[in-house]
Amino acid sequence: MKDRKILIVDDEPIARDNLAHIITKDGYSARVAENGQQAIDILKKEEIDLVLTDLCMKGKDGMAVLDEAKNLWPAIEVVVITGHASVDTAVEAMRRGAYHYVAKPFKINELRVIVEKALEKNLLRKEIRLLRNQVDASKGALRIVGHSRKIQALRETIHQVSQLDCNVLIQGETGTGKELVARTIHELSPRGKKRFVAFNCGVFTEELITSELFGYERGAFTGANKAKKGLLEMSEGGTVFFDEVGELPLSMQVKLLRVLQERTLLRVGGTEEIAVDFRVLAATNKDLKRETEGGGFRSDLYYRLDVLTIAVPSLSERKEDIPLLARHFLAKHARLGRIAPQLSPEAERRLMLYDYPGNIRELENIAQRILIACDGDLVEPQHIAAVFGDTEGLTIRDNREDWPSLEEHEKQYILEVLDEVEGNKSAAVKILGIDRVSLWRKIKRYGLENPDA
């Protein structure tokens, strides 16, 4: 109980000291404040589990303490104590989030019960919040499909990086899923409830980049009939993702560097600096280090962006994930009402022979073409041939002895789907494209009744 912190707020020294003595005697850690402002200052510095506050105090009263406590620490509980009890004030305190309302003089044992119950509720709130965060994190990680060692390492890196409020450079070939990595980092971060803004640096002219990112004031140029916020300003408190940041013109690199250094921006046609707060995630398929050496990218901006680097593996580096990804995309793009076809072992083998220069994006396109070629419930080699043309012309890396067995793929895939839908078998069969009986048989066959299997 020593780690449970209780803040006692009362402008009467005797009442305050007596209550602190009782709280300490009961094994709790007591903090004291002689007025509302002092209590708020304490709350801003450390997390408190329970506040016991007098209602009537000069300056910031008990209601102000209640409001600020709930705003700073959502899980906190507050008990309002006063010698001026009335139905109206009690109702108002409860409406604003107070756990209980106690009138003076109170009985010590009754207050002890209230304190114990309030701390139990506080602990429950924290546990629920922790579980919710764990579930959200699990769902976010599962969006990155695969069970290869490289993908497992990538998921772990994402979990670690998401909690660090620093700039991140995401490197990888085109089509490897760099934006998905960025979105997952954002969603798992403390900024996850705020806005995620993605901006492709390679598709706009320099003038459009300036107005899109920085916004403009009314009359800044012809057609600017009213002021407009830019994407950087609109992402306040959230995350900005600069895709293909290596394509950013040098003049824009200077402007972006200034924003990152000063944390302020100037709208086009504006005269007043605007403070901004956002996290930057940037992605590129270029070697920015080499670009800086050749003068194509500013070294000072590079080092601002490259606080941490995440390398996203190409599909050719994680070929064991191809069958899992292919089934995922077949289920994703199967037309409404159609059960996604399964891959035959030979179809899987054929898919794994190809190098996929377009990476995951190319595999998803291929899965969509397979759905057009195959109108049955099983994808056979001829359907793969219809998509690729001559499959004998595929680039072959025939290390089949190292490939995991089809059963291992299937077991892992079923496990990931069940985790994603939190054990809901009705939802699982829709994703897997099989009926409930088949799913039940596979669960029995692979011993998946135990989630740890």
The alpha carbon dihedral of 289, 295, 297, 298 has a sign of positive
User: 210, 217 in Cβ contact below 8 A?
Assistant: no
Is residue 88 classed exposed, middle or buried when 0-12, 13-18 and 19+ CB atoms within 10 A define those classes? exposed
pLDDT value at residue 1: 46
pLDDT digits (tens, 9 = 90+) for 10-67: 988 998 899 999 999 988 999 999 999 999 999 988 889 999 999 888 889 889 999 9
pLDDT value at residue 8: 94
pLDDT value at residue 214: 94
Is residue 433 classed exposed, middle or buried when 0-12, 13-18 and 19+ CB atoms within 10 A define those classes? middle
Residue whose token pair is 């990218």: 297
What letter would DSSP give residue 268?
B
- Counting as low any pLDDT under 50, the low residues of the chain are 1, 137-138, 141, 391-406, 451-453
Token pair for 323:
């069958």
pLDDT value at residue 408: 62
**Which stretches of 43-202 are assigned E, i.e. beta strand?**
50-54, 77-82, 100-103, 168-171, 196-200
The answer, as to whether pTM is greater than 0.75, is no
pLDDT value at residue 126: 77
pLDDT value at residue 400: 37
